[in-house]
Structure 1
Amino acid sequence: MITIRLATKDDATAISSVVCNTLRRSNAQDYSETVIDRLLNNFTPQCIAEMMSRRTVFVAISNDEVIGTAALEQSTVKTVFVAPEHQRKGIGSRLMKAVEASARSAGLGSLTIASSLTAERFYTTLGYKSLKHKFFGNEETVLMERRLAHQD
């Protein structure tokens, strides 16, 4: 059984592991080793713990293990990763539902995300629309947006 819950500081090391493993195994198909190495530096356990102070962070748990994460910082979706061996099982969608519910309860009408090339199709299936491609050095991302329907 997989559960989605708010992350705690105690999850920082496990979140770091999921993110770094996913970058190396999944995102490496679309990005150079140089880009992946630069990104890995942003996701140490210390960096994750610092990010958690300004973001609402969710984790997916299976057998007491963090297997995915997603975060919301103001109206921007951040750090959505699912361990490669758990991808394509609906976990990312469940994490995004939690992020979107949090955004709705905060009164937000839309969300944006700077998607990796690797995840662009995933966000498109969730209703996000591509706005433009952006480059950060040699790292290409896709700025995407979704209008949120408010649920009663």
Structure 2
Amino acid sequence: MKILLAERCDAPVICDIVHRTIEGIYPNYYPTEVVKFFVDYHNEEKIRADIEQNMVYVIEDNDQIVATGSIDGRTIGRLYVLPEYQGKGYGYEMMNFLEATVSKEYPTSFLEASLPSYDYYLRRGYYPVEYLKYEVENHRVLCYYTMEKKLT
């Protein structure tokens, strides 16, 4: 397993990981319109733009990209692990890497947690700062938290 800075050519694979994870897990927590919002929000164009800013990392295992995560200043984002690879430590390793990277410049890290990831971040020592709601198509509501963690 290797954690690497994503390259421009990785954008379609990263987009696929993000979309497959959203479409496979988020319907258990959110209505269809919110799932669609997440898929549209994490489009390949945005992923490519973040790659060009050297903000995106991937985990490669056996020559396959299985997870991704990003950093924008002190903000950790877009942490996704392919559903079939979840529970095997990839998210844990990516978060360790992202937090260590952020801690080189900032005393705290910040993230936005969807409902599926909220408990995971609590277990990692993040605490909720704010509970937010965002209305999407058909008056459906995306609920999420902003969270913070003091880094040592």
Query: How high is the TM-score relative to the length of structure 2?
Result: 0.91
Match of 2:132 among 134, 142, 145: 134
Residues 18, 68 of structure 1: 8 Å contact kept: yes
Question: Partner residue of 1:121?
Answer: 119
Matches within 5 A, 1:30-69: 30-54=29-53, 56-69=55-68
Alpha-carbon distance between aligned partners in 1 of 2:46 and 2:71, rounded to the nearest angstrom: 16
| Partner SS, residue 4 of structure 1 | strand
CA RMSD of aligned residues (A): 1.2
Alpha-carbon distance between aligned partners in 2 of 1:27 and 1:86, rounded to the nearest angstrom: 16
Question: Partner residue of 2:6?
Answer: 7
| Larger CA deviation: 28-37 vs 45-54 | 45-54
Question: Partner residue of 2:138?
Answer: none
Alpha-carbon distance between aligned partners in 1 of 2:34 and 2:45, rounded to the nearest angstrom: 20
Residues 6, 54 of structure 2: 8 Å contact kept: no
Does residue 83 of the first structure (1) align with residue 54 of the second (2)?
A: no
| Partner SS, residue 114 of structure 1 | strand
Alpha-carbon distance between aligned partners in 2 of 1:54 and 1:111, rounded to the nearest angstrom: 19
Question: Partner residue of 1:145?
Answer: 148
Question: Partner residue of 1:112?
Answer: 110
- Unpaired runs of 5+ residues, structure 2, are 136-140
Residues 112, 145 of structure 1: 8 Å contact kept: yes
- Unpaired runs of 5+ residues, structure 1, are none
| Partner SS, residue 26 of structure 1 | helix
Q: How many residues align?
A: 147
Superposition deviation, residue 90 in structure 1: 1.1
Query: How high is the TM-score relative to the length of structure 1?
Result: 0.91
Superposition deviation, residue 55 in structure 1: 5.2
Alpha-carbon distance between aligned partners in 2 of 1:146 and 1:55, rounded to the nearest angstrom: 23
| Partner SS, residue 127 of structure 1 | coil
Alpha-carbon distance between aligned partners in 1 of 2:130 and 2:46, rounded to the nearest angstrom: 28
Q: Do the aligned partners of residues 34 and 117 (structure 1) sit closer, same or farther apart at CA in structure 2, a change above 3 Å counting?
A: same
